[in-house]
Structure 1
Amino acid sequence: MEEQQRRSAEDLPGVPPSTPDTAGEHAPVPAGKPGPAEPRRSRLKIFNKLMEKSLQRLVADAGFSRFCHSFHPLCKQNPQMAEVIHKQFISDLQKSIQDEISNMIEEGNLEVKLENLDKLEELAKGTPEPTWRPSGVPEQDVCSVLVSYHQGQEEYVRRELRKLQKENAVLADQVLAGRQTIAQSEQRIAAAVEEWKSSVADLESFVLSLCPSENFDSL
């Protein structure tokens, strides 16, 4: 029965056959010569590996012996049919769980989020300052966060104020220039009116000189 369980587990799709542990067979690293640093695996690969291991353990727990224990009459009457049913059950179970995991990754947008976490970790490696951690005193933690926030807001308001002051200065210069233009126009109009009045007076004097009033009286 155990041999059948082992064979059925090896025949399952997506489940690699068990391999002996060879962790202790690696050559020891010489003293004083640290081994090369292993590149950190992405969180997405770790997540996929974790889901794969969890699925393998679930399949291992749902072995043929436990199936026979739950369905003893069927296994006793027709072991071959029970083994076929068990294989189909394991296959459907794997497919269902893999579909659920894929839907979870897609709905939660985990691929993008885990990649963003990897990028943030890479950016944090070049930061000389230690990462902020809460001190355990809520008042101090809130103040430390709010003070920097308010300082940033204050600097932003100052920049906007300087920007508005420059814009107001430009507008004030434009208004002053407009007023000067209007004053100059008024002066030109007044000078033109005075010139016109002078011309009219000269014209009247000329007309009177040509036709004096006593000539009209003699008529």
Structure 2
Amino acid sequence: MASADARSAPDTAADGDPSDLPELAADCAACAALCCVGLAFDKGAEFAIDKPAGKPCPNLSGHACTIHADLAARGFPGCARFDCEGAGQRSVALHGGASWRDDPDVLSPMLDTFRHLRRIHELLNLLVVAGRLPLGPDHERERRSLVAALCPQDMTPGLAATLATGPIPGRARAFFRDLRREMQPLRAATDQPTSSERPTRRRAPCPSPQARSRT
């Protein structure tokens, strides 16, 4: 019989990350326009209007953006660039696919879950990218531990809140700070010009007699 630790540990893929890593890119078709409701807009270069958090964007019809094909031209380049990193559709799924249009009472808890999952998915995306770096054994061990902690087998809205507001984000920030310090010498070395790129140190040619005569 497998031990309790073995049963609770997530299956891992070949790269060391859990095989059930959630989708980390937005799928608007499977969402309920949570970003268009939950996020605040400040009128300016990125958004054409002011909109408070929790209020549906006036450009919404149902869960669809009526100006999606012309967002930048209509003054919403910030919307065109936004990616919830998969938090939107996952929030809807964790609430049973409910629609806040049909049941307004579900909107507040769904937006809470969206906020928590955005934090979790942002960290996961950064940790996945960090896995492509030449990490030392200690950093790789901590990276895998953080990924596993953020990928429980049975995510729930309550567990998402616990993970997003608990100690894991602080651990992740400490990991990235330490990683930045470790990677800085490597980055400095790779930023150095190669021998063919280094500027020559030859003296500038003397000006011509005609140029000297004009000085």
Q: TM-score, normalised by structure 2?
A: 0.29
Which structure: greater helix fraction? 1
User: Highest CA radius of gyration, 1 or 2?
Assistant: 1
Q: TM-score, normalised by structure 1?
A: 0.29
